[in-house]
């Protein structure tokens, strides 16, 4: 019962109608916890040249991005005595006295042929040296994204790792009960702005997973009172139902080359791990055990999968070659380890672990070893790495309400992402978008 | 198996049939006559024309909807982290097995649910395990497999959205949905 077909869904028509109503569904971000060790940086408000009137404050978006990373502490604008936009206007001694490490200045000019040209420079305040200077064009609509890309470039220059500000986050929201229940799969910018509705349903939606090119999402939907796995192209809304076997169709994960999906299917009586080739529809069984096998995740090189199994009596993480074969147990600490996924460098796993009745997010070496807690816990779940490996995003509870949290793996400020109303859960951080 | 089914089912079938005879289906409530203002409203051109629906037939009696029938109860609750059917539900499930066995065209979906603790996809599998446990019980009672479907919602459809032990015990369940 494998079907590849276009479903010209009324759902999608509804999406168009809902597009205007999503503005108030924005995720709000709060930073919690300390910011010790954060680098002081001054992002001067960008100058507007030749009558440019950009609809957003570029410098403010860049500063907010850098602050959210936990690695930087942008200077408050109220403390800025001068606001230079060009190198010839900068007196580095002023910024040295304010104990800044780095300085960002820039300008917005109208572009010939419409839109804007953004020019910016990054300086080392101590030496007065220019570390980077760049310009990029932007449409009016693309200004926020352009600001995120500037923040990414600054972040990469100063930390040596790619920034993830111009990425997106998929998440599931739910509100209402019984006949009024709505479950919505959304995608927003990494700072919670520009929320877009991907699917809006009265039935549960689960397990969103990004394709490696960031253009498609796989997810599980229960429409029609059965579970099925869908792959949906974000730009067009076109979607394929790729798995609707008898029993459970769940836990999709794209292979690193984007051509396959790992799945947990119970078509033969109990859940096992399968790999589905999306082009041909060919299905390969990877595990075959009478216990529960689910939550597959690919190693970044595509050679292995990790998955959750209770074959030893309690749920633990196992590893298996992507083509099948014997499974090796990875986790031994604690009596509940599940929903593991790899860091981008393949060296670490992040997972849910039970610690004295609390469900917490923990990291462990991909080859096994002790767990290191990343969250205080309670009911924390659905962890996943940011595409640069610097942070882990997960679902948690705040005052009994479902929210998201993102925490740097090496300590620092945690961000909390929540909606004004309803629950937010199952975050999935997009890959780097080029 | 057949022998066992007869023993366990026949008295129940008799009881259910009797219960069926003893209860009269409720009369549909009388339709209110249209008032003058209603008629006036209908004739106004600005009003959207009312949708014509077929007359509502009185529902035939079903013991599934009768609070005095054992079949009225359709939920089995489970202990934490197990798919073992608690002994107290044996009679309830036998009554449903008898009904399914005896009633032509009857079909049930066994919907498995868990509480919110633990990961979502693992809970989806646990919900399926609970639904399967009930299905195996019913098959052992003689119900043809074709009359039953299973569906797990895991933790996605809690009966009680709270985060307390009470809410969790309401949520660990299999619902028999006819």
Chain A interface, best mutation among B82, B125, B130, B161, by max A CB count within 10 A = B125
**Whether B121 and A426 lie within 8 Å, measured CB to CB:** no
- Residue B146 above 90 pLDDT? yes
| C-alpha span between A117 and A132 (Å, rounded) | 17
- Indicate the domain borders of chain A: 10-27+167-429, 33-159
CATH fold for domain A33-159? Rossmann fold (3.40.50)
Flag if A206 and B126 touch (Cβ within 8 Å): no
Beta-strand relationship, A39-43 and A102-110: parallel
Query: What was the pLDDT predicted at A33?
Result: 64
Answer whether A53 touches B (CB < 8 Å).
Answer: no
In the prediction, which pLDDT does B1 show? 42
Which DSSP string corresponds to A88-155? GG--HHHHHHTT-SEEEEEEEEEPTTSSEEEEEEEEETTT--EEEEEEEEE-STTHHHHHHHHHHHHH
Does residue B155 contact residue A402 with C-beta atoms inside 8 Å?
Answer: no
B118 contacts A295? CB cut-off 8 A: no
- Nearest C-alpha neighbor of A340 from the set A257, A214, A253, A227: A253
Cα four-point dihedral sign A401, A404, A408, A410 = positive
3-class state of residue B70 by DSSP: helix
pLDDT in the model for residue B55? 60
| pLDDT band, very low/low/confident/very high, at B58 (cuts 50, 70, 90) | low
* Chain B CA closest to residue A225: B151
pLDDT surpassing 90 at residue B3 = no
B2-18+63-177: CATH homologous superfamily? OmpA-like domain (3.30.1330.60)
Residue A24: what pLDDT? 52
Nearest CA in chain B to A181: B157
pLDDT value at residue A421:
84
> Testing the interface with A: which of B124, B132, B171 to mutate, by most A Cβ within 10 A?
B124
- Residue B114's pLDDT is 98
Best of A249, A294, A315, A338 to disrupt the B interface by mutation (most B CBs within 10 Å)? A294
Chain A nearest-CA distance from B73, in A, is: 19
Per-residue pLDDT reduced to its tens digit, B32-52: 444 444 444 444 444 444 555
- Chain B residues closer than 8 Å to A226 by CB: 151
A59-111 confidence digits (pLDDT tens):
999 999 999 888 899 999 999 999 999 999 999 999 999 999 999 999 999 99
- The tens place of each residue's pLDDT in chain A, 434 residues long, gives 444 444 444 444 444 444 444 445 788 888 776 567 789 999 999 999 988 899 999 999 999 999 988 889 999 999 999 999 999 999 999 999 999 999 999 999 999 888 999 999 999 999 999 999 999 999 999 999 999 999 999 999 999 999 999 999 999 999 988 888 999 999 999 999 999 999 999 999 999 999 999 999 999 999 999 999 999 999 999 999 999 999 999 999 999 999 999 999 999 999 999 999 999 999 999 999 999 999 999 999 999 999 999 999 999 999 999 999 999 999 999 999 999 999 999 999 999 999 999 999 999 999 999 999 999 989 999 999 999 999 999 999 998 899 999 998 987 788 899 988 889 999 999 999 97
A227 and B128 within 8 Å at the Cβ level: the answer is no
Task: Specify the CATH superfamily of domain A10-27+167-429.
Answer: TolB, C-terminal domain (2.120.10.30)
CB < 8 Å from A in window 107-126 of B? 109, 116-122, 124-126
Which of A266-280, A401-415, B80-94, B112-126 is predicted with the least confidence, judged by mean pLDDT? A401-415
Q: Is the ipTM of this complex over 0.85?
A: yes
- Burial pattern B81-111, b for ≥16 Cβ within 10 A else e, equals eebebeeebeebbbbbbbbbbebeeeebebb
pLDDT of the residue at A400? 87
Q: Please tell me which of the candidates A227, A381, A400 has its beta carbon nearest to residue B120.
A: A381
Q: Cβ B129–A251 below 8 Å, yes or no?
A: no
**Stretch (H or E) spanning B127:** helix B120-140
Q: What are the residue boundaries of the structural domains of chain B, listed by start? A: 2-18+63-177
* pLDDT value at residue B149: 96
Instruction: Please indicate if any CB of chain B lies within 8 Å of the CB of A227.
Output: yes
Question: Which pLDDT score is estimated for A26?
Answer: 81
What is the structure's pLDDT at A34?
Answer: 55
Q: Which of A204, A247, A339 sits opposite B121 (nearest CB)?
A: A339
- pLDDT for position A169: 97
**pLDDT mean over B146-166:** 95
Decide if B153 touches A, using CB distance below 8 A: yes
B125 and A266 within 8 Å at the Cβ level: the answer is yes
Q: For A295, which residue in chain B has the nearest alpha carbon? A: B121
Give the pLDDT score at B33: 43
Nearest C-alpha of chain A: how many angstroms from B119? 6
Q: Do A359 and B125 touch (CB under 8 A)?
A: no
Angle at A140 between CA A137 and CA A143, to 5 degrees: 65
Find chain A residues with C-beta within 8 A of B119's C-beta.
295, 308, 338-339, 352, 381-382
Give the per-residue pLDDT at B44. Answer: 41
pLDDT at position A420, please? 82
Burial (CB count <10 Å: 0-12, 13-18, 19+), residue B60: exposed
Interface of B with A in 133-152 (CB under 8 A): 150-152
Per-residue model confidence (pLDDT) at position A411: 76
Residue from the list B116, B122, B129 with its beta carbon closest to the beta carbon of A315: B122
Q: Give the residue-averaged pLDDT of B60-81.
A: 92
Task: Give the separation between CA B139 and CA B147, rounded to whole angstroms.
Answer: 10
pLDDT at B151: 97
Please answer yes or no on whether B121 and A264 come within 8 Å at the CB atom: yes
A266, A339, A426: residue with CB nearest B128: A266
Residue A228, classed as helix, strand or coil, is strand
CB contact at 8 A, A351 and A339: yes
Distance from CA of A218 to the nearest CA of B (A): 14
Please indicate whether residue B158 or residue A113 has the higher confidence score (pLDDT).
B158
CB contact under 8 A, B120 and A336: no
Q: What is the pLDDT of residue A389?
A: 95
């Amino acid at each position: 019962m494998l079907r590849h077909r276009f479903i010209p869904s009324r759902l999608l028509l509804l999406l168009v109608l809902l597009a205007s109503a999503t503005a108030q569904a924005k995720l709000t971000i709060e930073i919690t916890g300390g910011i010790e060790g954060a680098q002081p940086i001054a992002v001067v408000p960008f100058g507007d040249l030749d009558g440019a009137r950009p609809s957003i404050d570029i410098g403010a978006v860049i500063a907010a991005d850098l602050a959210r990373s936990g690695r930087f502490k942008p200077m408050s604008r109220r403390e800025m005595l001068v606001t230079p936009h060009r190198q010839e206007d900068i007196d580095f001694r002023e910024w040295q006295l304010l104990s800044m490490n780095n300085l960002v200045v820039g300008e917005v000019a109208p572009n010939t042929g419409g839109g804007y040209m953004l020019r910016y420079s990054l300086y080392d305040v101590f030496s007065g040296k220019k570390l980077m200077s760049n310009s990029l064009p932007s449409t009016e609509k693309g200004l926020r994204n352009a600001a995120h890309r500037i923040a990414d470039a600054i972040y990469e220059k100063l930390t040596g790792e790619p920034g993830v500000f111009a990425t997106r986050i998929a998440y599931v929201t739910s509100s209402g009960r019984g006949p009024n229940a709505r479950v919505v799969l959304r995608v927003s910018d990494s700072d919670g702005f520009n929320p877009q509705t991907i699917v809006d349903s009265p039935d549960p939606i689960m397990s969103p997973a990004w394709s490696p090119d960031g253009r498609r999402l796989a997810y599980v939907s229960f429409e029609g009172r059965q579970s099925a796995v869908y792959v949906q192209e974000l730009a067009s809304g076109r979607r394929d139902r790729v798995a609707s076997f008898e029993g459970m169709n769940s836990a999709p994960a794209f292979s690193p080359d984007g051509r396959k999906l790992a799945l947990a299917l119970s078509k033969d009586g109990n859940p096992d791990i399968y790999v589905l080739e999306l082009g041909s529809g060919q299905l390969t069984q990877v595990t075959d055990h009478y216990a529960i096998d689910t939550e597959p995740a690919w190693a970044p090189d595509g050679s292995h999968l990790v998955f959750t199994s209770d074959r030893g009596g309690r749920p633990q993480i196992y590893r298996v070659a992507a083509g099948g074969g014997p499974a090796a147990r990875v986790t031994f600490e604690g009596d509940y380890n599940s929903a593991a996924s790899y860091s981008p460098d393949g060296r670490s796993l992040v997972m849910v672990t039970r610690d004295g009745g609390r469900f917490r997010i923990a990291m462990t070496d991909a080859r096994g070893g002790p767990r290191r807690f990343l969250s205080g816990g309670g009911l924390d779940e659905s962890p996943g790495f940011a595409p640069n490996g610097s942070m882990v995003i997960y679902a948690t509870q705040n005052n009994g309400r479902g929210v998201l949290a993102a925490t740097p793996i090496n300590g620092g400020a945690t961000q909390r992402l929540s909606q004004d109303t309803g629950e937010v859960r199952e975050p999935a951080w997009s890959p780097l978008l080029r | 198996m057949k022998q066992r089914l007869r023993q366990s089912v026949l008295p129940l079938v008799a009881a259910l049939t009797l219960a069926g005879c003893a209860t009269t289906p409720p009369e549909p409530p009388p339709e209110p006559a249209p008032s003058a203002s209603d008629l006036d409203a209908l004739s106004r051109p600005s009003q959207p024309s009312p949708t014509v629906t077929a007359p509502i037939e009185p529902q035939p009696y079903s013991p599934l909807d009768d609070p005095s029938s054992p079949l009225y109860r359709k939920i089995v609750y489970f202990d934490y982290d197990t798919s073992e059917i608690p002994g107290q539900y044996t009679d309830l499930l036998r009554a449903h097995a008898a009904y399914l066995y005896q009633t032509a065209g009857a079909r049930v979906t066994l919907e498995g649910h868990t509480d919110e603790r633990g990961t979502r996809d693992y809970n989806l599998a646990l919900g399926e395990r609970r639904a399967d446990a009930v299905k195996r019980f019913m098959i052992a009672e003689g119900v043809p497999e074709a009359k039953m479907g299973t569906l797990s919602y895991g933790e996605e459809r809690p009966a009680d959205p709270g985060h307390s032990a009470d809410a969790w015990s309401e949520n660990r369940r299999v619902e028999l949905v006819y």
